[in-house]
Each structure stands twice: as C-alpha cells, then as structure tokens.
C-alpha cells in the first residue's frame, strides 16, 4: 500500500510492547504513536484511535489487535503500525491479517511498500527472529553449563517487581476495557436512533436487526445484529436517555 492510496483516509493505530515495564513507563509506546501520527498527518488522514497493548509478538490471540482490526473494519479505515514487527514477526500472522481481516494495512516506516514487499519484509523479520532465538538459546545453555542461575531462579529476581507487574496488568486491562466502551458508545450512538424509531413504528426485534444490517451498521464487535443484540442496544440506549 503506497502513500497515494492512503491519502485522506481514516486510520486506526496499533502500538505494542512486550513487557509490563515498557507499558508502565510508556517507553516504546510513545515513539510508536509519534511515528503513526506523523505519517497520518503527512497524508492528510484522520487518526480515529490508537489501540495500545502489552503482549508478546508471538501471541496470535491479542485482544487489543482484535479490537483495532474490528474498529478499522467497521469504520472502513486503514490499520497502521509504526513498524511491521509491532504487528508480528511471524509471516503467517502478518499474512493472515493482510489476507483475511479485510482491513488495509499501512506501515509508517515503509508507507510506500506494496503488499509483496510487506510479505518479503515479514519473511526477513521472521528469519532474523529465529536466528536471534537460536543465539539466545545457545548462550543460555552455555551459561547454564557454567552453573549460572537464570531467569526467575536468580537471587532477588522478583524483589521490588511484583507491584509494578500488577500495576501494569491492571492498567492494561483498564485501557482495553475503556477502548471497548468507546467502541460500544460509537456504535450505539449510530444504531440507537435507528432502532428506537423502528421500535416506535411497531417493528419486531428481528425486523430491526435486519434493518440495521441492511444499513451497513455493525455491532460493537463488528458482527451482524440479531434480535438479542438489538434488545441489549435498546435497553442500553433507553437507560442513557432516561
């Protein structure tokens, strides 16, 4: 995807770090968001939201990434990351996002790259990751043979870190929950009046669901409306208006 194809579009940013310490300090996340905002400004686009996550790049089941993809799909926006490895270093993961999500991908550091070039970069990144992993395993095995105590077995490893880990986990969960609340509010603000008008006209929940689906309005999770989800929508919007 080149710069010409993203000019003027809406973007959903995704930033990721691997450790709680990085997430708590903001180091890494801020730099990624800065790169994303610079690119969006350079193509006169609109950055709708930036979703941040503390998770390993090896983890294919990331709630933050799933939320960012669903939001981008619902808004017909472009998913943007600062670097390809913030999405993943695994070729299969990157290819899956590019192929099956239906969401265009933009990488700020190589915004003019074609889909083919992004795949090539993914292959190179995965090979480098495998080489780094093997070198690390070799170094750890050599240290272990010398009797060095590694990881959590090191004396004092956990000292002073428990509270930071808990605080980071709580902050990450709270940020994810807030992002989901905002997504739900956006959808309900759009779907609520349509559903309320249809209900006042005597239409059934199933008919209202069909009307919302026909209008191209998705649920907060990016799916199709059913009678039960319409009922939740009407209950939530009625309580807000009360």
- Give dist(CA 164, CA 177) in Å, integer: 20
Residue pLDDT, tens place only, 79-108 = 999 988 888 766 667 777 777 678 888 999
pTM (whole model) above 0.75? no
The segments of the chain whose pLDDT lies below 70 read: 1-8, 20-27, 89-92, 100, 115, 119, 122, 125-126, 129, 148-172, 175-177, 179-180, 239-242
Q: Are 76 and 10 in contact (CB under 8 A)?
A: yes
Which residue spans within 1-121 are E strands per DSSP? 10-17, 46-54, 78-81, 105-107
Domain ranges of the chain: 3-121, 171-241
HSE of 226, CA atoms in CB hemisphere, 13 A: 5
- CATH top-level class of 3-121: alpha beta
Bridging pattern class, strands 46-54 and 10-17: parallel
């Amino acid at each position: 995807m080149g710069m010409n194809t993203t000019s003027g579009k809406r973007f959903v940013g995704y930033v990721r770090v691997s450790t709680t310490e990085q997430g708590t300090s903001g180091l890494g996340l801020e730099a990624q968001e800065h790169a994303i905002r610079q690119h969006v400004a350079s193509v006169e686009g609109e950055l709708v939201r930036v979703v941040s996550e503390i998770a390993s790049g090896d983890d294919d089941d990331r709630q933050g990434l799933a939320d960012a993809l669903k939001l981008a799909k619902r808004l017909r926006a472009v998913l943007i990351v600062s670097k390809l490895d913030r999405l993943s270093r695994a070729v299969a993961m990157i290819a899956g996002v590019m192929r099956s999500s239906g969401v265009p991908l933009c990488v700020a550091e190589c915004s003019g790259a074609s889909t083919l070039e992004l795949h090539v970069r993914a292959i190179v990144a995965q090979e480098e990751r495998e080489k780094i992993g093997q070198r690390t395993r070799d170094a750890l095995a050599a240290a272990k043979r010398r009797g060095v105590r590694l990881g959590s077995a090191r004396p004092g490893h956990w000292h002073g870190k428990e509270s930071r880990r808990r605080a980071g986990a709580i902050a990450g969960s709270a940020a994810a929950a807030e992002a989901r609340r905002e997504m739900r509010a956006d959808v309900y603000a759009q779907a609520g009046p349509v559903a309320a008008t249809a209900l006042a006209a005597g239409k059934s929940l199933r008919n209202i669901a069909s009307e919302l689906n026909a209008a191209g309005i998705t649920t907060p999770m990016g799916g199709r409306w059913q009678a039960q989800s319409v009922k939740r929508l009407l209950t939530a919007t009625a309580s807000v208006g009360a």
